Structure 1
Amino acid sequence: MRQVSLLGCGFVADLYLRSLQSMEGISVAVVHDRDPARLERFCAHWKLPRADTLEDFLAAVPKGSLVLNLTNPDAHYALNRACLEAGHHVYSEKPLAMDVDEAKALYALAEARGLLLASAPCSVLGEAAQTLGHALRHGVAGTPRVVYAELDDGFIPQAAHRKWLSETGAPWPYEDEFRVGCTLEHAGYYLAWLIAWFGSVRTVVAASAETIPDKTGAGAMAPDLSVATLFFESGVVARLTCSIVAPHDHSIRIVGDRGVLRCDAAWDNAAPVTFAKRLTLRRRLMETPFPRRVRLRGPTHPKVKRWGAAAMNFMLGPAEMLEALRDRRPCRLSAEFALHMTEVTLAIQNAGEHSGAQAMTTRCAPMEPMPWAM
């Protein structure tokens, strides 16, 4: 029996536990949250053992197992560090840290201790992302030239976000979401896919802005819009847009020499992947209006039913780490991958109006595909 321990049991923790129900052979060793009432309610609902203090939690985590850090982003660095210093492997909700230097310090600590360190999101291991990767490797669209990726969520400040509750009644942390920003919260959903396929980003040219003033909550608010052009060392160029302003659009289009690969739902592991071949009809250049669906042969991974806006198995990442530990092999969600994704995301988030071209200081290799997506 492989084990994980949960640090933080707010809104997202219920999504992990619901995903865990679909995975065989993984159990929860212990749970901790700084809110005693929240901790009691969560553990009672899921019938899980709890630790009332952080010190008790770190001591109760089984040796060689994995901590899932599901706390608020501003606590990620300190708690990731505490878990690593206690000798535990760590899977962190995004972002790994709120500062590049802090992320680099976590990377160095994990490397020095011989521990695994990874960061969400893990949808890059899901069927949709792996199907697109398979299509790219097999040249379905020809040589990829440019990628357009959208992560627009609609005019969220006007949504009924106060009524968004998790399975055990935890509220969606809207104030924290507005302060942290949609780029840090969501860019990774497609950025992880892009880095997995194309490797390191060499240069980021981005702009970000707060376009909706007076959002709910106290303190400074993060940009609610960012637009980035990413220059990959492999030669591919991608444009990534994140906002909580523009109408909902989670599409990604990969334009190749032969046509366009497309997926329209970043948060659905089973979202269809299509290919529209480019053709000339009566002197008009176009993509066929009847794209064909690209499919993988055979079974892929356990799926979860849609809950709210997502149909994602949040346990794919922790499961990959546990399997890598068991098999004594490199983990697909490596510390290099997490660090590079963090640096690129922060470069986009903090770009503002005048940052210009930013050279990335970290690197990582493309990700090994899942065995069922070869």
Structure 2
Amino acid sequence: MRRRVTKLIRPRFDQAKWVGRSHDEKLIRSTTSRGAHTVTKQQLTLGIVGAGNIAGQYARDLTTYPEVHLAGIADIDSSRAASLAEQSNCQAYASPDDLIADPAIDVVVNLTTHTAHVEVITKALEAGKHVYSEKPLALSYSDAQGLVQLAEQKGLRLGCSPCTYMGEAQQTAWKLLREKKIGPVRAVFAEMNWGRIESWHPAPGGFYAVGPLWDIGVYPLTLLTTIFGPARRAQATGKVLFPDRVTQEGTPFHIETPDFVTGSVELESGVLIRLTVDFYVSMKTKQKGVEFHGDTGSLWLGSPQWFNAEVEYAPFNEPYETVPYVREPYEGTEWGRGVLDMVHAIIEARPHRATGAQAAHVVDILEAIATSMREGRSAEITSSFSQPAPMEWGA
């Protein structure tokens, strides 16, 4: 049975709306609790909604970009917002609604929990803000598609993580693949063994509620659809391997969403992906990263997430050797890089890379995998998107 047929979504870009909407030909003065800040038309004002674990890493990055003025932070827990705002030298808003309503804010960076994404993004778009959201864009394809359409109707940008394909290691691998270093690619092995969330995160409940498929499956799927284009079919199986767990504080909890998922995703280009995602196997496993197999050789990327991951190449039946990066890599993951690319795109009136349309397509893939697990059959994927361009320095 076919799932649905969806037309290719291409956001409409209107330079007058992007560049002239809130910073026009004049200076914007954004006043925060730290004092007045002058923002030129070459700088956009951002606000973060959600002050959880990842927000500190975003704020750290965003405060280093000359093109970005981080005006403030909001959270349903005002104490968390106040703490991060103090660290980031910006304003703590009384509530997420107050931040979204602030006319000084050009872009809302949505870092809320998975289940709040649709509500926050919708409010921000309705308020006339561009939005960059943490992944996944939504927990259903219909909701994700609705957000893309709303942004298009409003003439606003909608971006979504992960932007990790913008990393130096990932761009290096992509360049080699474009150059046919290993010939036509026919198979890809993608492993995301993410350990046990309770061993490093103080509040693991939200992660286990959605499961590894929706939380970390987005990383290899976004990378691989960026490189090879849209998916068309998925087949998978999943299981709860380790149902009873204990938080760092010693509180027992029980999970019901599969913590181990494995299966295959067939792309429109013919590339077949073998995907494994789990919250059980240690990150120190020898099975990790993304391995591309072509007619004349193989390419191994140590992680789809870390910008300084290992990149190795091997001719067919020969040992792997390290490949030099296209440029010196960032150590770890620069979480703000996708936001910065969208800011540059708004200022320069060009398409941004981490689009809502691709994020919605990835949600469609995740939904197909979940359908396959639940119904024990192959599930079709019919949505599509326009692939992003490589980074200028990675081309």
TM range (shorter): 0.7 to 0.9
- The residue aligned with 2:78 is 36
Q: Do the aligned residues in 2 keep the contact of 1:223 with 1:349 (CA within 8 Å)?
A: no
Q: Do the aligned residues in 1 keep the contact of 2:74 with 2:96 (CA within 8 Å)?
A: yes
- Per-residue deviation, 1:61: 5.0
Is the partner of 1:275 in helix, strand or coil? strand
- In the alignment, the residues of structure 2 paired with residue 181 and residue 39 of structure 1 have an alpha-carbon distance, to the nearest angstrom, of 26
1:17 pairs with one of 45, 54, 59: 59
- Per-residue deviation, 1:367: 2.1
- The residue aligned with 2:169 is 128
Q: Which moved more, 1:53-62 or 1:266-275?
A: 53-62
Q: Do the aligned residues in 2 keep the contact of 1:229 with 1:239 (CA within 8 Å)?
A: yes
- Per-residue deviation, 1:20: 2.7
Q: Do the aligned residues in 1 keep the contact of 2:372 with 2:378 (CA within 8 Å)?
A: no
- The residue aligned with 2:219 is 189
For the pair 1:356 / 2:391, whether they are aligned, the reply is no
Is the partner of 1:179 in helix, strand or coil? helix
Superposition TM-score, scaled by structure 1 size: 0.87
- The residue aligned with 2:31 is none
- Per-residue deviation, 1:340: 0.3
- The residue aligned with 2:240 is 210
- In the alignment, the residues of structure 2 paired with residue 228 and residue 330 of structure 1 have an alpha-carbon distance, to the nearest angstrom, of 33
CA pair 213-292 structure 1, distance change in 2 beyond 3 A: closer
Amino acid at match of 2:293: V
Amino acid at match of 2:244: D
- Per-residue deviation, 1:354: 3.0
Q: Which moved more, 1:210-219 or 1:122-131?
A: 210-219
- The residue aligned with 1:337 is 358
- In the alignment, the residues of structure 2 paired with residue 97 and residue 351 of structure 1 have an alpha-carbon distance, to the nearest angstrom, of 19
- The residue aligned with 1:177 is 207
Is the partner of 1:181 in helix, strand or coil? helix
For the pair 1:257 / 2:292, whether they are aligned, the reply is no
1:82 pairs with one of 103, 123, 132: 123
- In the alignment, the residues of structure 1 paired with residue 393 and residue 93 of structure 2 have an alpha-carbon distance, to the nearest angstrom, of 38
Q: Do the aligned residues in 1 keep the contact of 2:45 with 2:71 (CA within 8 Å)?
A: yes
- The residue aligned with 1:2 is 44
- In the alignment, the residues of structure 1 paired with residue 88 and residue 256 of structure 2 have an alpha-carbon distance, to the nearest angstrom, of 34
Percent identity over the alignment is 28
Amino acid at match of 2:134: E
- In the alignment, the residues of structure 1 paired with residue 150 and residue 374 of structure 2 have an alpha-carbon distance, to the nearest angstrom, of 34
Matches within 5 A, 1:204-283: 204-216=234-246, 221-248=256-283, 249-278=287-316
Is the partner of 1:11 in helix, strand or coil? coil
Is the partner of 1:241 in helix, strand or coil? strand
CA pair 61-347 structure 1, distance change in 2 beyond 3 A: farther
Deviations 1:86-120 (Å, cap 9, x if unpaired)? 11111111111112211111111111111111211
- In the alignment, the residues of structure 2 paired with residue 350 and residue 10 of structure 1 have an alpha-carbon distance, to the nearest angstrom, of 30
Amino acid at match of 1:76: H
- Per-residue deviation, 1:264: 1.3
- Per-residue deviation, 1:347: 2.5
- In the alignment, the residues of structure 2 paired with residue 204 and residue 35 of structure 1 have an alpha-carbon distance, to the nearest angstrom, of 39
Amino acid at match of 1:181: G
- The residue aligned with 2:143 is 102
- The residue aligned with 1:66 is 107
For the pair 1:152 / 2:193, whether they are aligned, the reply is yes
Superposition TM-score, scaled by structure 2 size: 0.82
Amino acid at match of 2:89: K
Deviations 1:125-176 (Å, cap 9, x if unpaired)? 111111111011001111111000100123x16x633xx4xxxxxx3x2111
Alignment length (residue pairs): 345
- Per-residue deviation, 1:8: 0.6
CA pair 117-290 structure 1, distance change in 2 beyond 3 A: closer
Q: Do the aligned residues in 1 keep the contact of 2:233 with 2:368 (CA within 8 Å)?
A: no
- In the alignment, the residues of structure 2 paired with residue 318 and residue 354 of structure 1 have an alpha-carbon distance, to the nearest angstrom, of 37
CA RMSD in angstroms, aligned pairs only: 1.9
- The residue aligned with 2:30 is none
1:318 pairs with one of 322, 327, 339: 339
For the pair 1:113 / 2:134, whether they are aligned, the reply is no
- In the alignment, the residues of structure 1 paired with residue 367 and residue 175 of structure 2 have an alpha-carbon distance, to the nearest angstrom, of 29
- Per-residue deviation, 1:51: 1.3
Is the partner of 1:203 in helix, strand or coil? strand
Name stretches of at least 5 consecutive residues in structure 2 with no aligned partner. Answer: 1-42, 247-251
Name stretches of at least 5 consecutive residues in structure 1 with no aligned partner. Answer: 165-170, 279-285, 306-310
- The residue aligned with 2:35 is none
